[in-house]
Amino acid sequence: MKYFFSLIFAVVLLTGASAQPVPASDENIPYLMTFGPKVETSWGDDDFSQTFFFLIPKSFNQPIYVRVYDPDIGGTVDELNGVFDTKMTYSVYGGKECYTHKDAQETQPKGNYKSGNLLASKTFGDQPNYDKNWYTFGPFNPSEGEFVPRFDGYIFKVICDGISGDDGNLYRYFLSAKMDENKAVEGANAFAYEYSFRMHENPVEVSHIYPFVDDRAISVKLSNFDWDSDGFIRTVSVARKGQLSKVSGEDNWIEDEFTIFTEEKNTSLDIQFIKRKSPAVKNNNVVVNVRNQYGELLPFYVIPIGGVPKYKYDIGTRKPVK
């Protein structure tokens, strides 16, 4: 079974689409979100830190770059709380245990979550020259990442930590083969174990995240934080046409556990975030993670493994009851 699991990831890495925008287009998430540590968690961030992992296929041997869009905390994109006084550090890690250390694969920035070799780091504040602009980390040799056999590729870890202040940092990543432009790294992907993001302001927009369910999953627990009851959180899969989950209110976590169908194993779930149409809620941030029955976190791939899951409708017929 482990072999099958590895094979799935190997196939995704080698033949998958270019998956370097984070968030990716299928997710329809406008921005990642991390707040300064001085803010109340009721603003939507439970831990003021966000970790993403980038997978580089073993066969790719060109330099790679991690580019950050709007890395500063100020200007028009970010969320102001009083005055912009927040500092945020982006760090790129590679090498041994940058991914495989257990603390790296947790939701909270505790213990040795900064495991591995620090390859690059930069702190941003209110810097207009980076407002709506890109900052590039790298170049990195793919082999500077941690080689993980079951992915048959190298992993880099990028952490965005709130250092000071109380404003909200809204940003995106792009894993690029070029330093000064966004050029996809063929066969790459990215994932996180906890997703902190900003919702669209437009209530018709639906955001998605895609946790991958391996064949060990019997049930999963979907946790969401500070959804502010802004509409619905719904799970769609190849066997589930749309299951509503409990939604969190202001500044609290809520969990919803459900059984995994056989057809859902080794596929992705589509967790949809559907905003209430009226009254419209603005500046809504949400944090989400999913664990299996063992308490293990499920990875959210920005390009869902197996593609965006679609419920397979069918048509049955019978004679009417007379």
Partner 1 sequence: MFSSKLTVCLAGLILLSAGVVYTQNYYGVQRLPFNTQSKELAPAFYGTGIVYCSDKKNNVIMSYTDLENNPLTNLYLVEQRKPGKFDNPRLFSKELTTLLFEGPATFSRDGKTIYFTRTINTSLSIRNRQLEDTTFGIFSANLVNGQWINITPFRFNRPEYNTGYPWLSDDGSKLYFCCDKPGGTGGFDIYVSTLENGLWGKPENLGESVNTPRNEVFPFLHQSGRLYFASRGHKPGEDLDIFHTAFVDSAWLRPVPLGEPFNTDNDDYGLILNAVMDTGYFVTDRAGTPDIFMAASTIPTFASCNKQEENDYCFVFYEPNNNELDTTAFAYEWDLGDGTLIRALEAEHCFAKPDTYMVQLNVIDKLTKEVYFSQASHTFIVEQIRQPYIVAPDTVVAGHEFTLSGCETHLPDFTIDGYYWDLGDGQRATGIEINHNFLFPGTYQLQLGVANRVADTGELLLKECVNRRIVVVNPVK
| Residue whose CB is less far from partner 1, 149 or 319 | 319
Of the candidate spans 79-87, 193-201, 258-266, 289-297, the one that interacts with partner 1 by CB under 8 A turns out to be 258-266
**By CB neighbour count within 10 A (0-12 exposed, 13-18 middle, 19+ buried), where does 313 fall?**
exposed
Is residue 208 at the binding interface for partner 1, with CB under 8 A as the rule? Answer: no
Regarding 82 and contact with partner 1 (CB under 8 A), the answer is: no
Is residue 202 near partner 1 by the rule CB under 8 A? no
Strand partners, 35: 168
Quote the tokens at residue 142.
Answer: 């793919």
For residues 238 and 174, give the distance between their C-alpha atoms in angstroms, rounded to a whole number.
29
* Dihedral over alpha carbons 92, 28, 39, 109 (to 10 degrees): -40
Site for partner 1 in 92-121 (CB under 8 A): none
User: Per-residue DSSP letters for 16-48?
Assistant: SPP--EES-GGGT--EEEEE-TTS-GGGS-SSS
Strands 195-198 and 31-35, by their bridges, are: antiparallel
Interaction of residue 246 with partner 1, rule CB under 8 A: no
> Distances in Å between the alpha carbon of 42 and those of 46, 172, 245, 287?
8, 22, 21, 11
3 binds partner 1 (CB under 8 A): no
- Tell me the number of residues near partner 1 by CB under 8 A: 25
CB 146 within 8 A of CB 116: yes
Shorter beta-carbon distance to partner 1: residue 3 or 322 = 322
Half-sphere exposure of 65 (CA within 13 A, CB side): 19
User: Shortest approach of partner 1 to residue 266 CB, angstroms?
Assistant: 19
Shortest distance (Å) from residue 195 CB to partner 1: 20
Interface with partner 1 by CB under 8 A: which range of 72-80, 146-154, 248-256, 306-314? 306-314
Near partner 1 by CB under 8 A: residue from 82, 128, 242, 249: 242
Write down the least CB distance from residue 311 to partner 1, Å: 8
- Shortest distance, position 220 Cβ to partner 1, whole Å: 13
Q: Is 317 in the site for partner 1 (CB under 8 A)?
A: yes
Pairing of strands 117-124, 153-164: unpaired
**207: closest CA among 126, 300, 86, 124?**
300
Euclidean distance between CA atoms 79 and 11, whole angstroms:
39
Is residue 279 a contact residue for partner 1 (CB under 8 A)?
no
Q: Which of 17, 118, 179, 239 binds partner 1 (CB under 8 A)?
A: 239
The nearest distance, CB 44 to partner 1, in angstroms, is 22
Q: What CA–CA distance (Å, rounded) separates 34 from 88? A: 8
Minimum separation from the CB atom of position 169 to partner 1 (A): 29
Of positions 243, 252, 283, 293, contacts partner 1 by CB under 8 A: 243
Residues of this chain that interact with partner 1 (CB under 8 A) are 204, 206, 231-232, 234, 239-244, 258-259, 261, 274, 311-320
